[in-house]
């Protein structure tokens, strides 16, 4: 079974308002759907989260010429060939017409995103060709995977205390763990939000905080000292991007609250450093952003032998498969707020079910999700 063709479908939903993290707003929900066609008629589906989408789509076109005719089951060989664009002469055709290319022509994140989409589609092909769900191929036995509710943004035009009702509504839906943003206002303001949420969700619900790379080391230390009394399950991406590993390691030594991170790490090597030097106890590597499921599995296995729990960022329809199978698979991130995540309700014609703090994967061959192509067409970017 050989790879024949790659087709990319970039889509974008305007959310109609801004959902702020500590330093950045979410204004659109965007994704690139990737189809990998084989000469056997099996079509694999992948999904990418990355920007700029136009550049990623262009790179997918170049990648098609590189892997056309390769064995669609050879995910490691395909991965290595595409990854070499970032560190070998193979990458010198990128942006050839725009002057001097240099190790991926400054497009490493986009190359790794395009690679992610193809790799995920190859795993879907593997499952479809073998008539088996990917979670079974990876060795999983129980398709029920723990999940938490993610939200708690600073919403444009809303009181910062709206988060209290929002988090309580997730508990009412059956979630036993909820995550909210922090670092988007001053410490006093965040203490009011977090203490209000803890009171509303009761003592038995796990509460995670996500700073989205929003503090210096000293600010993060002061923040977690202030938040600790509200029984924080983990403190996620606490420190600005430019010191996002070494300073995180120092913070990990200063606080008893476990540190989470990994959605910003582009490779297994970066994720390894976050484990070794950053002291994270919950790893959130995202296969749809960088490197695909092949890279994610490497990260998860490294975490297993370093006593780090694995809980990937976003996209339970894809990440559910390895989490279901891995011994250190802690759970999945889900976004119950339809305003913030309209894709979950509208983009899929087939997907796993989410109920009572669990994602239930299905028995369909491959990754077990399919696209509603009329929605994809309607929101084509
Ligand atoms: Mg996060």
- pLDDT tens for each residue of 241-265: 999 999 999 999 999 999 999 999 9
Reported confidence tier of residue 1, pLDDT bands at 50, 70, 90:
very high
Cα separation values, 29 from 15, 26, 136, 367, Å: 7, 8, 30, 21
pLDDT in tens, 124-161: 999 999 999 999 999 999 999 999 999 999 999 999 99
DSSP run (H or E) holding 11: strand 3-20
149 CA from centroid of ligand 1 (Å): 12
Q: Give phi and psi for 207, each to the nearest 5.
A: -125, 120
Give the pLDDT of residue 35. 98
Q: Give phi and psi for 136, each to the nearest 5.
A: -75, -40
Beta bridge partners of 279: none
Reference 79, options 305, 290, 344, 260; nearest CA is 290
Percent of the chain with pLDDT over 70: 97
315 CA from centroid of ligand 1 (Å): 12
187 CA from centroid of ligand 1 (Å): 19
379 CA from centroid of ligand 1 (Å): 25
142 CA from centroid of ligand 1 (Å): 26
pLDDT above 90 for 97: no
Cα separation values, 173 from 1, 178, 223, 357, Å: 44, 11, 29, 8
State the Cα–Cα distance between residues 137 and 132, nearest whole angstrom: 7
State the Cα–Cα distance between residues 233 and 231, nearest whole angstrom: 6
Mean pLDDT, rounded, of the chain: 95
Give the pLDDT of residue 67. 97
102: tokens are 């240099």
Give the pLDDT of residue 83. 96
237 CA from centroid of ligand 1 (Å): 7
Give the pLDDT of residue 90. 77
37: Cα separation from own chain's centroid: 25
pLDDT in tens, 314-337: 999 999 999 999 999 999 999 999
Average pLDDT of the segment spanning 286-296: 98
276 CA from centroid of ligand 1 (Å): 20
Coil/strand/helix, residue 357: coil
Over its C-alpha atoms, the chain yields an Rg (Å, rounded) of 20
pLDDT above 60 for 104: no
333 CA from centroid of ligand 1 (Å): 9
173 CA from centroid of ligand 1 (Å): 22
377 CA from centroid of ligand 1 (Å): 29
- pTM here is 0.97
Reported confidence tier of residue 94, pLDDT bands at 50, 70, 90:
confident
203 CA from centroid of ligand 1 (Å): 23
Coil/strand/helix, residue 182: coil
Among left, alpha and beta (phi > 0; psi -120 to 50; other), residue 35 is: beta
Reported confidence tier of residue 105, pLDDT bands at 50, 70, 90:
low
DSSP run (H or E) holding 38: strand 25-38
Asked whether the beta carbons of 326 and 139 are under 8 A apart, the reply is no
3 CA from centroid of ligand 1 (Å): 34
Sequence-ordered list of residues with C-beta below 8 angstroms from that of 17, at least 6 positions apart, any chain: 155, 156, 157, 339
pLDDT above 70 for 176: yes
351 CA from centroid of ligand 1 (Å): 23
Give the pLDDT of residue 167. 98
pLDDT in tens, 338-374: 999 999 999 999 999 999 999 999 999 999 999 999 9
262 CA from centroid of ligand 1 (Å): 8
The CA-CA-CA angle for residues 106, 112, 113, to 5°, reads 110
Average pLDDT of the segment spanning 20-49: 97
21 CA from centroid of ligand 1 (Å): 9
């Amino acid at each position: 079974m050989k790879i024949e063709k790659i087709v990319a479908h970039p889509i974008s939903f305007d959310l109609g308002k801004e959902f702020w993290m500590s330093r950045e707003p979410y204004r659109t929900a965007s994704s690139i759907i990737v189809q990998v066609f084989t000469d056997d008629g099996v079509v694999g589906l992948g999904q990418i989260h990355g920007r700029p989408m136009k550049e990623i789509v262009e790179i997918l076109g170049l990648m098609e010429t590189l892997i056309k005719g390769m064995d669609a089951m050879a995910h490691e060989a395909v991965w290595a060939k595409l990854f070499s664009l970032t560190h070998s002469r193979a990458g010198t055709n990128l942006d050839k017409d725009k002057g001097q290319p240099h190790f991926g022509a400054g497009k490493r994140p986009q190359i790794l995103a395009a690679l992610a989409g193809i790799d995920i589609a190859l795993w879907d092909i593997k499952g479809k060709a073998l008539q088996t769900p990917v979670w079974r191929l990876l060795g999983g036995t129980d398709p029920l995977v723990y999940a938490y509710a993610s939200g708690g943004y600073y919403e444009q035009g809303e009181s910062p205390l709206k988060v209290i009702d929002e988090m309580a509504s997730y508990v009412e839906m059956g979630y036993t763990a909820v995550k909210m943003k922090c670092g988007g206002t001053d410490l006093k303001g965040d203490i009011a939000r977090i203490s209000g949420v803890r009171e509303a969700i009761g003592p038995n619900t796990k509460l995670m905080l996500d700073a989205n790379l929003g503090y210096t080391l000293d600010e993060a230390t002061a923040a977690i000292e202030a938040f600790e009394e509200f029984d924080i399950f983990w403190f996620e991406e606490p420190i600005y991007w430019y010191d996002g590993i070494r300073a995180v390691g120092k913070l990990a030594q200063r606080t008893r609250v476990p540190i989470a991170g990994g959605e910003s790490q582009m490779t297994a090597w970066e994720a390894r450093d976050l484990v070794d030097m950053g002291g994270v106890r919950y790893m959130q590597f995202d296969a749809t952003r960088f490197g695909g499921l092949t890279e994610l599995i490497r990260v998860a296995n490294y975490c297993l032998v370093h006593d780090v729990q694995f809980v990937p960022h976003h996209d339970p329809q894809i990440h559910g498969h390895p989490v279901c199978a891995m011994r250190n698979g802690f759970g999945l991130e889900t976004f119950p707020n339809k305003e913030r995540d309209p894709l979950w309700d509208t983009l899929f014609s087939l997907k796993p079910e989410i109920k009572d703090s669990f994602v239930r994967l299905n028995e369909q061959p491959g990754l077990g999700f399919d696209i509603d192509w009329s929605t994809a067409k309607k929101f084509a970017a």
